[in-house]
Amino acid sequence: DELQAIASMMEKQARIVVKPKEVSQEEKQRKAALLAQYANVTDEEEYPFPDPVETRPALFRNTNVEDVVNARKLERELLRDEFQKKKEQDKLQREKDKLAKQERKEKEKKRTQKGERKR
């Protein structure tokens, strides 16, 4: 049964033939005219208009790029300032820790010296 089903499907597929699209002579001529028109375009004809950025009035200037650049610059400056503050705080904290450690050592010395004196 399975072999017959596969065989019948293969036969159906073999019978299916794609018919070539019939293109009229008029459509062929239109296509050729369009291709010829685009083939003859030169660089001067392709860009005959002046640069729109130069002719645009100042009221309609696109500031999106400038806004994004300025926002990124501001963000970087803020991050730099935060990093600098954190660096200074870490430095102060290290100094405090060093002083505290030194004080503990001195207290320990005094305590041991008192203990030795009592003996």
pLDDT digit string (tens) for 88-111? 999 999 999 999 999 999 999 988
Mean residue pLDDT of the chain comes to 82
Cα–Cα dist 90/82, whole Å: 12
Checking if the pLDDT of 12 tops 70, the result is: yes
Cα–Cα dist 86/92, whole Å: 10
Q: So what's the pLDDT on residue 52?
A: 54
Average pLDDT over residues 29-42: 80
Residue with tokens 């904290």: 93
Look up the pTM and report it. Answer: 0.38
**Pseudo-torsion of CA 78, 81, 85, 90, nearest 10°?**
90
Residue 7 binned pLDDT confidence (cut-offs 50, 70, 90): very high
Cα–Cα dist 37/27, whole Å: 15
